[in-house]
Structure 1
Amino acid sequence: MKKTLLVTLLLFVTHNLFAQESHFREYVGASGTIDWTKASVEAIGYGISPAGKNPKVMPLLACRAAIVDAQRNLLESFQGVRVTSTTLVSNYALTSDIVKSSVEGTVQGAIIKSRINRADGSCKVVLQAPLKGKVSKSIYKNLNQKNLSTFNFKSIFSHIIGTAYASDIAASSLEDKLTILTKRVSEIETILDMKLAKEVISTDNAITGIVIDVRGSQFIPSLDPKIRKNTGDILYPDEKSTMEIIDSGQLVSLFATDVLFAMEHPIVGDTPLLIKANKTWKNNNTEITINEKDAKKLLYLSQNNTLKNTGVIIVLD
């Protein structure tokens, strides 16, 4: 009986250590840590009591000072969170009152993960707050509004150009006919690609999540990672996925350092699809490209609404 309990305890401890080692953590700010696997931010604060106070209340005053210090460090840590390869949360907080208030509100609502009164009379406090939720929603809404503005401009511009070019199309020149034929061939190829992708991923079980292995590609985590085809077209997150991500308050992707851990993570379900990435997109280390075969799989899942509420984990070095 004792031997069984010992083995069970050993397995439990080993599993927890493995899980912790598989988390992707990044140090930011004076004393902050981003856990990209749990989508949370932590910061440490230290404090001492003012001199001359009642010895009985000095430990409490020291911890109060430590909480204030930890909140300041936590705010700094949030501001240092990477959104894209060239921008941080601080960039968005400067231009958006909504982002600024969501970050400040999240810091104020942080939980005390640990509080230790030390022998020298000081206090050490660790605060933890979620990166998902208010903060991620405000960032994604901000990004989505910019993307929609760009899209609308392109649509209007294309409409003007298209109207001006309509008379030339009516001429039905050989060049026009070749252009139309090329477009039609491309459409047929897309249909065939979808049929092929369906056959490739056809299994008895539905795809419940996506795990993308980008190890060896110098990819780094961010709030807005993108998965692209070799041609540059964005596969994930597409417009539909973006809206679902905003509504749910989740991140575009979680990140981990071990494929097995990622494949067994609850967010990707029982039958996740594993994809191996090729390289970063044009030296942008928060965007990745995947090969043609895997791109067809992801495109099929996206177009058939299979990715709705589907978790994604990116595994990196």
Structure 2
Amino acid sequence: MKNLKKKALAGAIAGVFAFGAGFYMAPDATLPTLTMMQAAEAAPQWEQGTITAEGFGTPPMGTYGSKASIMARRAAIVDAQRNLAEQVSGVQVDAETTVQNFVISSDIVKTKVSALIKGAVIVEEQQMPDGSYRVVMSMPMYGMQGLSSAIMPAIRDNTPPAPPPPVISATITAEITTHVQTRGGYTGVIVDASGLGLKPSFSPVIYDTNGRAIYGVSNINYDQAISQGMVGYSTSVSSAQTLPRAGGSPLVIRAVQVRGGNNSTNPVNVVVSVDDGDRILAANAQSSMLMNGNVVFVR
């Protein structure tokens, strides 16, 4: 069940759309109920880097023909924007924070997010036999027209850049150096957290089992984070290896667990062994793959 604050936020944003555009919004009781499949389709699609939502609209009573169709379509657009707002507000920024938290605390972020939702594009539409209308709208998660363009600058204000921690083990450094000399450098890192219940977020962290932060928002080029996100998400190691951000020779690491942050159990962060943390850091010293965001999580 969604909390009242989130519903109020989503409703307020959608209300702005409806009022500003003069749309007719059909009462909720007249709209079809979202099925489980439709709800799943409306969720943020991290692997594709999009957020989509479905909307339904009906024409006002007493309107017919092309005018009824136009007004039903407009109502469906408003409904889809409202559903997008609800989806966006629940997107996880990090283990403790959602987009909703940023919107509530910052008028700048609220304005940007509202504009991005209003700019969402229709990717599918259909007029029903009974005169109602259905649309599917989509907005990108990344890029200058994506949600990251509103969120990452706000994260940067709270997190100054910092270098990754040093490698602990000289043996691991020698291992990676030998690999680079004989087989070439690593082009990225894939952390396999499949089966561990990892949840996606805009600002995840790679920890080692000693609690050392191997990779986080302070280590990345913010322009890269806006354009492609801090990490990519994939459903398997084999599909992760095909992603351009992993490059042709990624270092593949198996996560030992997932975890939340200091004040949350929300499992958006991955944990690797101390030696594997060193391997990531030593490989990064050869290629700067962390700063470039050449990181993929398998979940």
Q: Structure 2 length as normaliser, TM-score?
A: 0.75
The residue that corresponds to 1:79 in the other structure is: 89
Mapping of 1:258-273 within 5 angstroms?
258-273=236-251
Q: Helix, strand or coil: the match of 2:256?
A: strand
How far apart in 2 are the matches of 1:122 and 1:278?
Answer: 50
Q: Helix, strand or coil: the match of 1:106?
A: helix
Superposition deviation, residue 270 in structure 1: 2.4
Superposed CA deviations along residues 52-101 of structure 1, whole A, max 9, x for unmatched, are: 22413322221111001111111111011111233210001111122212
More helix by share: 1
The residue that corresponds to 2:61 in the other structure is: 51
| 1:148 equivalent in alignment to 2:131 | no
Q: Which amino acid aligns with 2:195?
A: G
How far apart in 2 are the matches of 1:206 and 1:280?
Answer: 27
Superposed CA deviations along residues 120-147 of structure 1, whole A, max 9, x for unmatched, are: 1100000000111352133223223223
How far apart in 2 are the matches of 1:89 and 1:188?
Answer: 34
| 1:314 equivalent in alignment to 2:287 | no
How far apart in 1 are the matches of 2:40 and 2:239?
Answer: 30
How far apart in 1 are the matches of 2:240 and 2:41?
Answer: 27
How far apart in 2 are the matches of 1:188 and 1:269?
Answer: 23
How far apart in 1 are the matches of 2:167 and 2:129?
Answer: 74
Decide whether the 8 Å contact of 1:209 with 1:271 is kept in 2: yes
Superposition deviation, residue 29 in structure 1: 7.7
| 1:276 equivalent in alignment to 2:254 | yes
Superposition deviation, residue 188 in structure 1: 9.7
Superposed CA deviations along residues 157-185 of structure 1, whole A, max 9, x for unmatched, are: xxxxxxxxxxxxxxxxxxxxxxxxxxxxx
Q: Structure 1 length as normaliser, TM-score?
A: 0.71
Q: 1:203 to 1:103 in 2, by over 3 A?
A: farther
Mapping of 1:219-234 within 5 angstroms?
219-234=198-213
Decide whether the 8 Å contact of 2:172 with 2:279 is kept in 1: no
Mapping of 1:1-317 within 5 angstroms?
32-133=42-143, 134-148=146-160, 190-191=169-170, 193-200=172-179, 203-237=182-216, 239-246=218-225, 248-281=226-259, 285-307=267-289, 308-316=291-299
Decide whether the 8 Å contact of 1:29 with 1:77 is kept in 2: no
Unaligned runs of 5+ in 2: 1-35
Overall identity of the aligned pairs, in %: 28
Q: Helix, strand or coil: the match of 2:81?
A: helix
How far apart in 2 are the matches of 1:189 and 1:58?
Answer: 69
